[in-house]
Amino acid sequence: MKRSLLQAYKDQPLLTKLILFHFVLIAPLLIMGYIMYNSFVSSMEQKVGNDQEDLIQQLAINIDTYMEELNRLSLSPYQDASVMEYLKTPRNPEDVLSIDQLWRLRQFVKQLSLNGRVDIRGVALYGIQGAAYIDRPDVPDGQYNPEWKQEAWYQKVLEGSGRVWFIGDHTYVSNRGGTYQVFTLARELLDLDNGQTVGYITLDVDSSVLKGMLEQVSVDYDKDMYLLEKSGDIAFTRTDREPPPIVKGLQGAGNLHLSKEGKIVIYNTSKVTGWRIVEVVPVAFLLKDMNVVRNFILLAAGISLLISLLFSIWIAVRITKPISLLRNLMKRVEHGELNVSIPITSRDEIGQLGHTFNIMASRLKQLGYRLFEMEIREKNSQIAVLQSQINPHFLYNTLGAISMYADVQGNTEVVQMTNNLSRLLRYSVGGNDSNEVELRREVEHVSGYMSILQVRSDNRLRFETKIPEELAGCSVLRFMLQPIVENAVMHGIEKAEGVGVVELSAVQEDDILHITVTDTGVGMSKSRLHELRVSLQRETAPEGPGGYGLINVHRRIVLRYGKQYGLSIDSRAGEGTVVHIHLPLRKEEDGHV
C-alpha cells in the first residue's frame, strides 16, 4: 500500500508535487494552531467559569445577608410579651379581638415595617390554640384563616428539621381577587419557659427583591438563573425553561461543564436558607467576545493560507512552465521537427538546460541537412554513373528505328508508345543540372507517361489536365508530378472497376501555387488516410504498401521551400483520392529558376 502511494506520488506532474509539498509544510502549522486554539478555549472556559462562580458566590452572600435580616425580623414576637401571650391564649374562630388586642397587634406589625421595609407585603400570626392575626393587602384586620394548617408552608415547617423555613416564589390571591408575587419566611415560635411550640409567624416578602438581586448579577436573558429549595423545587426563576436534571443533586459550590448541551452550570448554596443558587450559561455566550477574536483569527488565517497557496502555485508554475515547454519541444524534435528553440529568460539550471537544448537542436538540424545533401549527392552520383554507361544517342536512334519500322508496318500504337518513351528518356537523361523546370514541361512529361499507361491499360484510363496558360510558366521541382500520378494509377485506378480518370489542375492563391492530382480510384480507409497523413507530417515512410513516392516528393518540397509547403491528402473509400501540392509561386522571369 505504501509502495503504491509512493509510486502514485512519483507519477504526478511536477506542478502537483510542488503544491502537495506546500500543503505538507502547512499541515503541521494548521494542526498546531488547532491544538493551541482548543487549549486556549478550554483555559478561557475555565477562567470564565471561575469568574462566574465568584459572582454567584457574591450573590449567595447578598441573599444570605438579606435573608438574615428577615430571619431577625421573624424573631420580633419574642420581644413583644403581649404578642406571645396572645398566641398562648385559647380562642375560637368566632371570637372577636378586643380593642386593646387589636391595637397591640397593629403596633407589632407597624414595628416590622419601620425603616422603610416596603418589601414585606404581609404578616401572619398563628397560635396552636386558635389565636390568629393576619395583616395582608386587601384583607380585613385579623381575619381568621381556619385552613392555615393546610397551607404549604406549614407542612414544610413540620417536615423540616429547623425552626425556620423559606418558601419560594408563589402567587398570593387576596379575598378581593388581587394577586401578588411573594416568597414566604415561616418560623416556629417556642415558649421560652418550657420550649413548647406556641405558634408560628409568616412573613410574605415581595419577590421583586430577589429578582433585583439576580439582575444585579446578570441582565442577559441568555443565562438561566434558578433558586432551588432543599427539596429541589424551584424557589425563584426568571425563565420558563426547566433546569437540567443534574442540578437537583448538586451540593455546595462549584461549576460543571455540560459538553453535550454546550453549557456551564455555576452553583452555590445559601447558608441561611439552604437554597441553591444555580446559573446555567451557554458556553457560546460566555465566549462570545472571544468568538469575535476567533473569527477574526480564522479569517486572517484563511486569507493568509489562500495568499500562500496562490503564491506557491505561482512559484510552482514559474518553475514548471519552462520545463513543460522544454518537454513539448523535445517531443517535437522526437517527431522530426528540428527547427525549434526555447527562449532563455534566466541563468539558473533551467536556463542552462534550455541553452543546451537549443544547441542540441541546432546541431541535429545541421546534421539532418548534411545527411540529406549526402543522400542527394549519392543519388546524383549513381545517375551520373548510369548516364555515363548508356549512350543516349544510341538509344534515341534505336527507338527512332523501331518507330519507323512500326510506321511502315502501320502499327500506330507502337509508333505512339515509342515516341512517348523517347520523350520520357530525353526528359530524364537530358536537360541541365537544375532541379526546377517549368510546369508545362513537367505536365508534358506526365502526359507522355500517362499515354504509355493508357495503351497498357487498354484505354481504361483517361488523363485530363486543367492548367491555366498564365501558370504554365511557373517553376516546379523536376520529377515532382510523375510519382504522384503513378501512385494514383497503381493504388487507385487499377484496383477500381470501369474507366478511371486522373485529373491534373492548378490554381493560384495569393503567392502560392496549388496543384491538384485527383483520381476516381478506390480511395482509402480513414485509418490508412490517418497513417499516411502522420507519415507526411513526420516525413517517414508509412507502414504497408504504397506511399513512398508521396513521402519522397513531400520531403523534397519541404527541404527546397520550407515546412509551410508540401503535400496534403484527402480521400474517401470508394470515391477516390485528392493530392494537393502547395508550392511558392515562382516564374522564370523572376530570376529564381
Q: How many CB atoms lie within 10 A of CB 453?
A: 19
Query: What integer is the mean pLDDT of 9-16?
Result: 67
Q: How many CB atoms lie within 10 A of CB 65?
A: 10
List strands edge to edge, sheet with 263-269. Answer: 234-237, 224-228, 276-282, 263-269, 254-258
Contact 488, 577 (CB under 8 A): yes
Percent of the chain with pLDDT over 90: 9
Whole-Å CA distances, 297 to 6, 33, 47, 303: 35, 11, 21, 10
Interatomic CA distance for residues 230 and 165, integer angstroms: 10
Question: Which is more confident, 400 or 27?
Answer: 27
* pLDDT number for residue 570: 94
* pLDDT number for residue 566: 92
Interatomic CA distance for residues 593 and 438, integer angstroms: 9
Contact 128, 199 (CB under 8 A): yes
361-405 confidence digits (pLDDT tens): 788 877 877 777 777 766 765 655 555 545 555 555 565 666 666
Whole-Å CA distances, 203 to 119, 135, 148, 437: 10, 10, 14, 134
* pLDDT number for residue 583: 94
| Radius of gyration for the chain, computed over Cα atoms and rounded to the nearest angstrom | 59
Most confident of 143-152, 347-356, 429-438, 564-573: 564-573
Question: Which is more confident, 164 or 2?
Answer: 164
* pLDDT number for residue 593: 39
* pLDDT number for residue 569: 94
H helix count then E strand count, the chain? 15, 17
Query: What integer is the mean pLDDT of 345-369?
Result: 79
Query: What integer is the mean pLDDT of 571-576?
Result: 89
* pLDDT number for residue 484: 92
Is the pLDDT reported for residue 445 higher than 80?
yes
396-427 confidence digits (pLDDT tens): 556 566 666 666 666 666 666 666 666 666 66
Name the amino acid, one letter, at 458. Answer: D
Interatomic CA distance for residues 48 and 179, integer angstroms: 40
Interatomic CA distance for residues 179 and 137, integer angstroms: 10
Is the pLDDT reported for residue 62 higher than 60?
yes
Residue identified by cell 429541589 is: 232
pLDDT bin (cut points 50, 70, 90) of residue 162 is very low
Is the pLDDT reported for residue 591 higher than 50?
no
273-317 confidence digits (pLDDT tens): 888 888 887 777 766 666 777 778 778 888 887 888 788 778 777
Contact 281, 263 (CB under 8 A): yes
* pLDDT number for residue 380: 67
Closest CA to 75 of 153, 192, 193, 187: 187
Closest CA to 538 of 351, 338, 345: 338
Q: Where does 201-267 have alpha helices with state H? A: 208-217
Closest CA to 281 of 269, 265, 268: 265
* pLDDT number for residue 515: 95
Interatomic CA distance for residues 81 and 103, integer angstroms: 14
Whole-Å CA distances, 204 to 163, 174, 225, 237, 298: 17, 13, 22, 17, 55
* pLDDT number for residue 584: 94
Tally the residues of the chain. Answer: 593
DSSP secondary structure code for residue 80 in this structure: -
Q: Supply φ then ψ for residue 161, to 5 degrees.
A: -90, -15
Is the pLDDT reported for residue 204 higher than 60?
yes
Query: Which grid cell is 553?
Result: 516528393
pLDDT bin (cut points 50, 70, 90) of residue 592 is very low
Interatomic CA distance for residues 439 and 209, integer angstroms: 120
532-555 confidence digits (pLDDT tens): 888 888 776 555 555 678 888 898
Contact 573, 522 (CB under 8 A): yes
Query: Which grid cell is 13?
Result: 506532474
- The mean predicted confidence, pLDDT, of the chain is 78
| Cα maximum dimension of the chain | 183
484-530 confidence digits (pLDDT tens): 998 888 888 888 888 889 999 999 998 999 999 999 989 988 899 88
90-139 confidence digits (pLDDT tens): 888 777 778 888 888 888 888 877 755 678 888 888 888 888 888 877 66
Interatomic CA distance for residues 450 and 489, integer angstroms: 9
Report which secondary-structure segment, H or E, holds 512: strand 512-519
Interatomic CA distance for residues 500 and 488, integer angstroms: 10
Q: Where does 390-498 have alpha helices with state H? A: 392-409, 412-429, 439-456, 481-488
Interatomic CA distance for residues 93 and 146, integer angstroms: 7
Contact 182, 207 (CB under 8 A): yes
Q: How many CB atoms lie within 10 A of CB 424?
A: 17
Task: Kindly report whether the global pTM for this prediction surpasses the value 0.75.
Answer: no
- For 191-321, strand residue ranges (E) read 197-206, 224-228, 234-237, 254-258, 263-269, 276-282
**Chain-centre distance of CA 460, in angstroms?**
69
Name the amino acid, one letter, at 61. Answer: I
Closest CA to 285 of 54, 46, 48, 40: 48
Name the amino acid, one letter, at 558. Answer: V
Percent of the chain with pLDDT over 70: 79
Interatomic CA distance for residues 212 and 455, integer angstroms: 127
